[in-house]
Structure 1
């Protein structure tokens, strides 16, 4: 595997949850009650799809990275009435674009942790890669952890008993995944690989949090899902327009002459942080878009070049 020293991305400057923030989806768990998360969230679910039961993790306060809430992932020994936790964060079956999924993670000296990425939002079809730290065997608070990718296990070290930022850059346009520890790149490999083989589907479906054994126990907080774009600057003198601003079924996209290219995509994101539509534009400066399949609500149309360069952002309302 090659170590990566190249991170040439700029964050997309919008968020549906907080003005001027940068994440498509950010969850600090502060809005949830101290209970199982599945019935409280449209994005979190379980491996089986049955929410509110023993697979569903609890929102807790011990500890929390920010605020007072976090999400606990624990093995059977911590749940005398059944377990373990086996939960899914759905990421939309994305096939293009560049993204970062990160979260803060905490586990104690005697505990372990495990999670994996799935190529499909429906879990169990393809494990993209797996990350784990075994319980026990700790020396001076340090532990050897590993990522399983393409049938090979690559090792890294993190500190237990404190918070660690786990970052994952998924570049679907160039079929590349990068693991970062506290924002430092560790390994990079083709994202289409599966955990145990060097072939698979270049698609981002979700992340699965699961205790590998009865003694695994960790908490996560500040989960962020961000779209990344190239550092190329685009100067716009005439903005693009989406008309009308309040849409029933169809809309007209008038692309700025400053941005026009034969190769454009329109991504439509909802307030839930989910990608609802990917539209390949047909080469005309003025495009007719069929948005009849969208539920009522607030959306953002992101105009991208096929190399991932962000060109424009157009908010709109769907009746």
Structure 2
């Protein structure tokens, strides 16, 4: 159902008067997208109306004004008296802003007031009674927020970025570490900072080939060492996502070299391309999950886990289509990009850390500790390990909000502890177990943190 009324002016004014002739049809697709077709705008006045814009809004009531939640605008061509323009609208339902809830959808004609009309009172009379548009909760991003967690140097041995230090809007005019692929800042290819549920995050959205959002986080052109790069990502059902890691990056260059590409295909399945091979994986929709990448440049190895599950481990010197190119063994950047209009995803809680070769724990200098997120009174922790099955090295990552003493143990099938690693109070830990001296078979990884523990199965193979 819709509501529209046209007020006919009976004066002799020579001015135009824009009015909503037909609201059109509204389709809400899977509570994710808004589709409107057949919206008709008519000039019912006596003068010609120049080109104008119509604003699309969400409101908690049927009294629409510019204090309601603005979605987007569409251009209306110049109209002679009696002439009609037909428009369509197709956009994602926002999440986080406005707050979750049920909203009416309506239009405001000439919303930026560029046309001098004989009657301005009928510009907001066009809206839908139903269906109501449901704005979903984005879900809680358990990473929290800390305005001190922001990247200030791409060569730091450790940094984090949770976007809390940014204002909403364009990303790159405010960042020391991010760049666009083209090197042009503040344009259509820039990432967008949005907020919701008490957090800010990076939004990457597809528009068209010329205006795809294409953001690069530079990582300092590292040619040796061991590093861990983790971030949280959120995709609505049906939305696609993509990122790649780069061996080389120069803004606005056609010669940048990819290390590998990761695709989220919009149906809870994805794949990684490296070395001319493709490895598939699964991921959840409508919730935040973690992508973790462990780089051992010295030993030419990279390991990818998604949502806590091992995906693959391969030679870091590979490219997506080429196996082993030792010249390219360099960690330059990660590229968050929209490949099509169906791409839309959100990124938060990026953490880059150096793994110290002496004790395989996260290196944390005093000035970098201050960049880590604020401690919260929570005893939950996240434990990831890979690969599984394992032949040589088992990598374990541990993350918690509250600093705790941590003990990692590897148990064999008869209940004997065969490997152990202990540290004092930490919020993050990366450890590497050498299992080459252990017989093949089933083992268990046990993590004890404070009063909590978790046990996971591990298979050691030849």
TM-score normalised by the chain length of structure 2: 0.42
In the TM superposition, residue 164 of structure 1 has moved relative to its aligned partner by: 1.1
User: 2:264 — aligned with what?
Assistant: 133
User: 1:163 — aligned with what?
Assistant: 288
Q: Deviations over 1:188-218 (max 9, x none)?
A: 0000000111133110000111112111100
Answering whether residue 238 of structure 2 is matched by residue 104 of structure 1, we say: no
Q: 1:12-51, aligned counterparts within 5 Å? A: 24-51=158-185
User: 1:172 — aligned with what?
Assistant: 297
In the TM superposition, residue 25 of structure 1 has moved relative to its aligned partner by: 1.0
In the TM superposition, residue 84 of structure 1 has moved relative to its aligned partner by: 1.2
Secondary structure, counterpart of 2:173 in structure 1? helix
User: 2:319 — aligned with what?
Assistant: 194
- Aligned partners of 2:234 and 2:345 also within 8 Å: yes
Taking the aligned partners of 1:101 and 1:181, their CA distance within structure 2 comes to 12
2:271 paired residue among 134, 146, 158:
146
What is the total number of aligned residue pairs between the two structures? 210
Deviates more, 1:124-133 or 1:202-211: 124-133
Query: Which of 1 and 2 has higher RCO (CA within 8 Å, sep 6+)?
Result: 1
Taking the aligned partners of 2:346 and 2:352, their CA distance within structure 1 comes to 18
- Aligned partners of 1:150 and 1:197 also within 8 Å: yes
Q: Deviations over 1:52-85 (max 9, x none)?
A: 11111110014x6xx42000000017x9xx7210
| Greater gyration radius | 2
- Aligned partners of 2:247 and 2:331 also within 8 Å: yes
Taking the aligned partners of 1:232 and 1:68, their CA distance within structure 2 comes to 34
In the TM superposition, residue 269 of structure 1 has moved relative to its aligned partner by: 12
Answering whether residue 225 of structure 2 is matched by residue 91 of structure 1, we say: no
Deviates more, 1:217-226 or 1:184-193: 184-193
Answering whether residue 232 of structure 2 is matched by residue 116 of structure 1, we say: no
Aligned alpha-carbon RMSD (Å): 2.9
Q: Deviations over 1:80-101 (max 9, x none)?
A: xx72100100001100111111
Structure 1 residue runs without a partner (length 5+):
1-16, 235-267, 274-307, 309-319
TM-score normalised by the chain length of structure 1: 0.60
In the TM superposition, residue 182 of structure 1 has moved relative to its aligned partner by: 2.9
Taking the aligned partners of 1:92 and 1:192, their CA distance within structure 2 comes to 17
Q: 1:132-281, aligned counterparts within 5 Å? A: 132-135=263-266, 138=267, 143-200=268-325, 201-230=328-357, 232=359
Secondary structure, counterpart of 2:329 in structure 1? coil
Taking the aligned partners of 1:189 and 1:110, their CA distance within structure 2 comes to 29
Taking the aligned partners of 2:194 and 2:318, their CA distance within structure 1 comes to 34
Taking the aligned partners of 2:360 and 2:181, their CA distance within structure 1 comes to 41
Secondary structure, counterpart of 2:242 in structure 1? strand
